[in-house]
Structure 1
Amino acid sequence: MSSLSLKKFVGQVAVVTGASAGIGKAVAELLVKNGVIVAGLARRVDRLEDHSKQLINEKGKLHAFQCDLTNQQEILTTFKKITTNHGPISVLINNAGLSIETNIIGGDIEKWKPVLDTNILAVAICIREAVASMKQHNLKGHIINVNSMAGHSVYDFPNASVYPATKHAITALTETVRLEINREKLPIKITSLSPGYVATDFIERAFGKAIDERLKSRAGLESKDIAETVLYILSTPDHVNVKELTVCVQGEIF
Structure 2
Amino acid sequence: MTPMRGMNRWADKTAVVTGAGSAVGAGVAAALAGEGMRVVALDSKEEEAITEALNKLKYTSDVTARQCDVSDLSQLTHTFRWLDQHHGGVHVLVSLTGLVEPSQITGFVFDSPGEEASESQGTDVETDPVLLCARHAVVSMLKNEIDGHIINVNSIYCRSKGAGCTETLNQELARLKNNKIKVTSISPGSVSSKLPASTADDVVTDSDPSPVLEPADIAHAVLFALSTSPHANVHELNIASVAERRL
Query: What band does the TM-score fall into relative to the shorter chain?
Result: 0.7 to 0.9
The 5 A counterparts of 1:158-197 are 168-185=160-177, 186-197=179-190
Match of 2:110 in 1: none
Cα 1:92–1:3 shift into 2, 3 Å:
closer
State the one-letter code of the partner of 1:183.
R
Instruction: Return the TM-score normalized by structure 1.
Output: 0.76
| CA–CA separation in structure 1 for the residues paired with 2:30 and 2:68 | 19
| CA–CA separation in structure 2 for the residues paired with 1:203 and 1:72 | 19
State the one-letter code of the partner of 2:163.
T
Kept in 2: contact 1:18–1:97 (CA 8 A) = no
The 5 A counterparts of 1:11-26 are 11-26=12-27
CA deviations on 1:104-154 (whole Å, 9 max, x unpaired) are xxxxxxxxxxxxx89x711111111111111112111000000221124xx
Match of 1:231 in 2: 223
Q: Among all aligned residue pairs of Structure 1 and Structure 2, give the percentage whose two residues are the same amino acid.
A: 34
Match of 2:81 in 1: 80
- Aligned-pair CA distance for 1:58: 4.5
Aligned CA-pair RMSD: 2.9
Does the alignment pair 1:32 with 2:25?
no
Match of 2:50 in 1: 48
Kept in 2: contact 1:15–1:93 (CA 8 A) = yes
Unmatched runs of 5 consecutive residues or more in structure 2: 100-123
Unmatched runs of 5 consecutive residues or more in structure 1: 99-116, 153-167
- Aligned-pair CA distance for 1:82: 1.9
Does the alignment pair 1:200 with 2:190?
no
SS of structure 2 residue aligned to 1:92: strand
Instruction: Return the TM-score normalized by structure 2.
Output: 0.78
SS of structure 1 residue aligned to 2:133: helix
| CA–CA separation in structure 2 for the residues paired with 1:141 and 1:3 | 18
SS of structure 1 residue aligned to 2:79: helix
- Aligned-pair CA distance for 1:88: 0.9
SS of structure 2 residue aligned to 1:20: coil
Greater helix proportion = 1
CA deviations on 1:165-218 (whole Å, 9 max, x unpaired) are xxx4332111100111112142100000000001112499946x9x72343x11
| CA–CA separation in structure 2 for the residues paired with 1:16 and 1:6 | 17
State the one-letter code of the partner of 1:84.
Q
State the one-letter code of the partner of 1:129.
H
Kept in 2: contact 1:39–1:65 (CA 8 A) = yes
State the one-letter code of the partner of 1:228.
H
SS of structure 2 residue aligned to 1:80: helix
- Aligned-pair CA distance for 1:2: 4.4
Cα 1:84–1:51 shift into 2, 3 Å:
farther
Match of 2:103 in 1: none
Match of 2:236 in 1: 244
Kept in 2: contact 1:24–1:96 (CA 8 A) = no
- Aligned-pair CA distance for 1:75: 1.4
